[in-house]
Amino acid sequence: MQYFQVKVQFTVEDSKGKVKKQSVNYLVDAQSVTEAEARTVKFLTDNDEQAFEVKSASESKIFDVILTGASEVE
């Protein structure tokens, strides 16, 4: 399993109507940079995001992600 960090820039409008750029990083499980970018674009478009641009994608140094259920953490 490989993880990639994908940086996405969103165009957002603040409460005063001013348009700003906001960057967000996503951690994506993929086999290549190209697949990580494609998965990110699909995820965002499936969630009705439109005003975004993938700015970069690179292999992450994260070795693994540990997921636990809420009942296991108690």
Per-residue pLDDT at 8: 98
- Compute the radius of gyration of the chain from its Cα atoms: 15
- Both tokens of residue 20? 């700003």
What's the gap between Cα 14 and its chain centre? 21
Q: How far apart are CA 17 and CA 52, in angstroms?
A: 18
Average pLDDT over residues 12-17: 89
Say if residue 4's pLDDT is above 80.
Answer: yes
Nearest CA among 42, 1, 48, 20 for reference residue 10: 20
- Read off the pTM: 0.82
The DSSP output letter for 74 is -
